[in-house]
Amino acid sequence: MQSAMALSFSQTSFTRPNHVLGSSGSVFSTPRSLRFCGLRREAFGFSTSNQLAIRSNRIQFLSRKSFQVSASASSNGNGAPPKSFDYDLIIIGAGVGGHGAALHAVEKGLKTAIIEGDVVGGTCVNRGCVPSKALLAVSGRMRELQNEHHMKSFGLQVSAAGYDRQGVADHANNLATKIRNNLTNSMKAIGVDILTGFGSVLGPQKVKYGKDNIITAKDIIIATGSVPFVPKGIEVDGKTVITSDHALKLESVPEWIAIVGSGYIGLEFSDVYTALGSEVTFIEALDQLMPGFDPEISKLAQRVLINPRKIDYHTGVFASKITPARDGKPVLIELIDAKTKEPKDTLEVDAALIATGRAPFTNGLGLENVNVVTQRGFIPVDERMRVIDGKGTLVPNLYCIGDANGKLMLAHAASAQGISVVEQVSGRDHVLNHLSIPAACFTHPEISMVGLTEPQAKEKGEKEGFKVSVVKTSFKANTKALAENEGEGIAKMIYRPDNGEILGVHIFGLHAADLIHEASNAIALGTRIQDIKLAVHAHPTLSEVLDELFKAAKVESHATTRTVSEKVVV
């Protein structure tokens, strides 16, 4: 046995010289314990897919080398100015999408400028994901401290937990400021020019910002994002009828707040408000709460996040008219039936939060100068984020990413789209797989998902003629979740039993938002279940929920050795 191991080790190092280069001499620093892995790899043998993997590795290596060359040529940070243009790349809008694109552009050696008419960071950092996470961090703790039953099951005693509204609001505001500064500094440090003023497109490759500054660039990215969408008939006063922009400042905690819309935003705010003592009424136009989620997940989420809390709801109704509180009268909400449009009910509450989604922010962008016609405000793009004009032809050198194109209105999707565009303009074709972009809702517990929902997958399977299977695992069986007394939750995977392709994963449970990435990476990299099920998860961790999910799946084809052998190398 000993000798066999030693032999296999030496073989490993000889048969893979290319990897020695690629992984900077890792074979020599390989811990002795990995020899056993070498033996295991030998047992699996080389397959064609294995050879392919090696080749792709080499390609990666080569491309990285060429990048290093170009980077050294532009060692003063932002790339050298080209002859005819002021910049290689101008990004209009310094939100998370623009920021992601700018950083990647500099890495690719492009001279880059970013135009911001408001504050750096955009919605996500200033009025969205970031401050809401601060509020949710508070609400999660409040909820835990107030849950006597939960505390007692730990053997903990907590006397009446309370909060200071201003303190909570400050935490959210401080976090936004901190992240905004980090974002600004990260761009300044690598030499991105941050231009202040409202930016618009003057013509091909020409941009105006501020009063009358005109600059040119080889390529332009529009990343102007979105604003809260307020349906007709709703009067927002910023005090009693508010959008997420106002709510995040937490200027008041109303006793009773109606939340119009039960998507991510509404759900997260219901979590915050109920933890801080408010009672909540959801108003949802569709027949079911949480319409965007996998039906099974939304059913369970309703059982955990809605039913036991101080929340009631009206589904299948529109809020046709909302009047802010004034003259001693409460906020009045008129509800009409979503289908028949007949008046159904009138609500009076202390406040109303409009969380009916977001509208693209594309007005005044000068799109008419390049003959682009927006669709409900969204800028039409192809799968490579290239802007399409009114006649359906591509506008050269103009791209649009993020909420403004409406493909997938998530901060990290915008950033991924930006990086994809930069890859293209720096000479490498790239198409982003939107089905591999995860989404998360940071309630307590969290909800996360990637890929298709079960009904979507079944429909696709029927159309394309493949079978769809579903497996589920419960957090109730997970040691770490039980240690935390948080056994409530499920993970669910939708997959193809014939080839092991993961079509979608949905998680509801403790730290679901952090858990989803194993699945989203697998989808992005095309990893099959039969391979990923052999991967090892530390015990006891929540990640074992996914481990069990992969292991529970029944796939007809056998494991390829690819994943395993890759592991040996690094």
Tell which positions 151-210 bind another protein, by CB under 8 A: none
* Distance (Å, whole) CA 349 – CA 347: 6
Residues ≥6 apart with Cβ < 8 Å to 112: 78, 79, 87, 88, 89, 90, 91, 102, 105, 106, 192, 193
* Distance (Å, whole) CA 9 – CA 458: 46
280 binds another protein (CB under 8 A): yes
Task: Indicate which single residue of 311, 351, 413, 422 sits in contact with another protein (rule: CB under 8 A).
Answer: 311
235 binds another protein (CB under 8 A): no
Amino acid type, 182: N
Q: Which is nearer to another protein, 40 or 150 (CB)?
A: 150
Amino acid type, 494: I
* Distance (Å, whole) CA 281 – CA 264: 15
Amino acid type, 41: R
287 binds another protein (CB under 8 A): no
From the CB of 396, what's the least distance to another protein, in Å?
54
Please identify, among the stretches 186-194, 346-354, 400-408, 557-565, the one whose residues bind another protein according to the rule CB under 8 A: 346-354
From the CB of 476, what's the least distance to another protein, in Å?
5
* Distance (Å, whole) CA 402 – CA 361: 11
From the CB of 254, what's the least distance to another protein, in Å?
10
Task: Indicate which single residue of 141, 310, 517, 537 sits in contact with another protein (rule: CB under 8 A).
Answer: 310
Nearest to 418 by CA among 433, 435, 399, 434: 399
Catalytic residue among 19, 171, 246, 539: 539
* Distance (Å, whole) CA 147 – CA 139: 12
* Distance (Å, whole) CA 353 – CA 357: 11
* Distance (Å, whole) CA 369 – CA 56: 43
From the CB of 345, what's the least distance to another protein, in Å?
8
Instruction: Let me know if 149 is a catalytic residue.
Output: no
Q: Does residue 100 sit in helix, strand or coil?
A: helix
Q: Which is nearer to another protein, 48 or 157 (CB)?
A: 157
Q: Which is nearer to another protein, 221 or 300 (CB)?
A: 300
Burial 238-271 (b: 16+ CB within 10 A, else e): eebbbbbbbbbebebbbebbbbbbbbbbbbbbbb
Nearest to 488 by CA among 306, 288, 272, 303: 303
Give the per-residue contact string, 107-146, with another protein (x = CB under 8 A; - = no).
----------------------------------------
- The residue count for binding another protein (CB under 8 A) is 25
Q: Which is nearer to another protein, 247 or 280 (CB)?
A: 280
CA distances from 306 to 270, 313, 444 (A): 9, 9, 11
Task: Indicate which single residue of 170, 235, 255, 498 sits in contact with another protein (rule: CB under 8 A).
Answer: 255
Terminal Cα-to-Cα distance of the chain (whole angstroms) = 24
Q: Which is nearer to another protein, 468 or 490 (CB)?
A: 490
CA distances from 52 to 58, 484, 553, 562 (A): 10, 44, 26, 9
Give the per-residue contact string, 46-85, with another protein (x = CB under 8 A; - = no).
----------------------------------------
Please identify, among the stretches 9-17, 170-178, 343-351, 396-404, the one whose residues bind another protein according to the rule CB under 8 A: 343-351
251 binds another protein (CB under 8 A): no
CA distances from 482 to 381, 447, 513, 565 (A): 46, 18, 18, 35
* Distance (Å, whole) CA 149 – CA 152: 5
Task: Indicate which single residue of 178, 303, 339, 428 sits in contact with another protein (rule: CB under 8 A).
Answer: 303
350 binds another protein (CB under 8 A): yes
307 binds another protein (CB under 8 A): yes
Nearest to 87 by CA among 225, 202, 223, 192: 192
Task: Indicate which single residue of 55, 165, 326, 329 sits in contact with another protein (rule: CB under 8 A).
Answer: 329
Report the binding-site residues for NAD(+): 261-268, 284, 357
537 binds another protein (CB under 8 A): no
Please identify, among the stretches 122-130, 212-220, 238-246, 275-283, the one whose residues bind another protein according to the rule CB under 8 A: 275-283
Q: Which is nearer to another protein, 332 or 559 (CB)?
A: 332
Q: Where are the beta strands (DSSP E) in 52-205?
A: 87-92, 112-116, 193-196, 199-203
Q: Which is nearer to another protein, 380 or 489 (CB)?
A: 489
474 binds another protein (CB under 8 A): yes
From the CB of 116, what's the least distance to another protein, in Å?
41
Task: Indicate which single residue of 4, 373, 477, 483 sits in contact with another protein (rule: CB under 8 A).
Answer: 477
* Distance (Å, whole) CA 277 – CA 272: 9
Q: Which residue has the tokens 């905004």?
A: 180
Residues ≥6 apart with Cβ < 8 Å to 233: 319, 320, 321, 322
490 binds another protein (CB under 8 A): yes
383 binds another protein (CB under 8 A): no
382 binds another protein (CB under 8 A): no
Residues that bind another protein (CB under 8 A): 147, 149, 255-256, 279-281, 300, 303, 307-308, 310-312, 329-330, 332, 346, 348, 350, 472, 474, 476-477, 490
Q: Catalytic site residues?
A: 539
